[in-house]
Amino acid sequence: MFINLFQSSRLPKVAVGLSGGVDSALTAHLLKEQGYAVTGVYLQCWDEPGCSADQGHKDALKVALDLKIPFKVLDFSKEYKTKVIDYFFKEYQAGRTPNPDVLCNRDIKFGLFYEWAMKKKFNFVATGHYAKIILSEDLYQLAIPHDEHKDQTYFLYLMKGKQLPHILFPLSDLTKTQVRDEAKKRQIHVAQKKDSVGVCFIGDVDVSKMLKEKLGEKTGEVVDATGQVIGEHRGLWFYTIGQRSGFTINPTTLVKKSDGSEIDRQNLPPFYVIDKLVDKNQLVVGFGPQTMKDAFAVDSLHWINLPPATNKLKVRIRHTGELTGCHLKMMNKKSSAQIELDQPAQGLAAGQSAVFYQEQGNEMVCLGGGVIVK
């Protein structure tokens, strides 16, 4: 579907990904005000029962109609299932914790959508991401935006340096509060719409329910760090490293501390998932120091531009997680590295992303990242 309401060929052309939310809506408004020839593009990727796609489509269309800009719908449902959803289930079944938003950005938003826009001779692609693109010494780089709490660079680390000159993030210098305020000033109808959470393009769905419907349940043993059976789980794919609920612990089981002494059965500490033994269908749990790691490995390394010139970097192991100093040691395989943390961290889950940053002047630049492995 293409609604050609208004377009001037003399202005720089930008394709704005309209999701139906306030961030992308204000993005379109700001760019039109700045003199761009804006086309709103809605990406249709998921239309299963329970998702918010229908309302998102309607809200995106209304934004375009109010702005009197062209509106286009691109159907990537088939590609989204193959590239994101199939990967999602495959990773969970293998005992890892996937990061679908990272692949969604690489393969859909800055993959298929970006490629479509370039073929259609758009000058730029724009989204409502909270991220910043800077130009430093003739090199375009991805950097943390003004609103550090909303920073989405963690999910964008698979972008390519050659794409950055053609991408706009108009919200880079705004906080979320300012975005809503600016949307109210312009009477944008989604100014107070609740933020989308959950899986990319699907929204706030019950992941546990999705996994149960697709993979079922497979009960197994919960063991402590010594291998002693102390409880039961309902299927390894329902758990991630660092999780502290959803499994059962038998309070009568003898559990020992690291020094060999027994724990008071009446005052068991909170147990966290620290490993998953897929071949044995065992969930390993621990507490205290057992939950912390000061080193881990990454694979599938990707650098947005060139590899860093120094091994002393900062790393983030989860979205909005703390930036921790680290030492990166490249392995013989160029796509693999060993990471030594300046301070121990909890919740290092295989399958999740480790994203690397470096301070450059007043900016914190996102260099790239990799997938955490054991």
Which positions are catalytic? 104, 200
Closest CA to 112 of 172, 201, 9, 22: 201
Full DSSP string of 177-242: HHHHHHHHHTT-TTTTPPPP-SBTTTBS--HHHHHHHHH----EEEE-TTS-EEEEES-GGG--TT
Q: Could you say which DSSP state residue 15 is in?
A: E
Provide the 10 A C-beta neighbour count for residue 101: 20
If you search the block for the tokens 């998921």, which residue do you land on?
46
Q: What is the distance between the alpha carbons of residues 67 and 53, in angstroms, rounded to a whole number?
A: 21
Length of the chain equals: 374
Q: For residue 118, is it left (φ>0), alpha (ψ between -120 and 50) or beta?
A: alpha
CB-based contact 190:24 (threshold 8 Å)? no
Q: Say if residues 80 and 101 touch (Cβ distance below 8 Å).
A: no
CB 309 within 8 A of CB 137: no
